Amino acid sequence: MSEKINRADSEWRERLTEEQFRVARKHGTELAFSGRLDKHWEKGVYCCICCYNRLFSSDTKFDSGSGWPSFFAPIDAANIGETVDTSFFMRRTEVHCVRCDAHLGHVFPDGPEPTGLRYCINSASLDFIEDE
């Protein structure tokens, strides 16, 4: 991970679309099955939309049927931070980019082996870099 990135909301608004800002900077959630990367199966790396921190490999992506891109492991656990989310009368584990604090989604303990985890991530929080 590179140096921590801190920007004012006004700077993030200039860099991101309205939807990306709402999800990544304001902890929003895109509608299930609406994200451009849910059924995306190209080989490559999924990066943070805000700072391009490398987060997930296509090798760990799977179809969870949830309507959001799902991964069973990050590229490096040090790139993903976790916080307790008690919104909507639930207790969940929110995940965020440790480099810029962008909201990514949530992680659940119902994923496939080898980790048993399901990182349920908003497409709006990700960009994709295809393998060459």
Active-site amino acid positions: 120
Whether residue 104 contacts residue 22, with contact meaning beta carbons closer than 8 Å, is answered with no
First and final C-alpha spacing in the chain:
22
Q: What phi and psi, each to the nearest 5 degrees, are found at residue 81?
A: -100, 160
- With H, G, I as helix, E, B as strand and everything else as coil, classify residue 20: helix
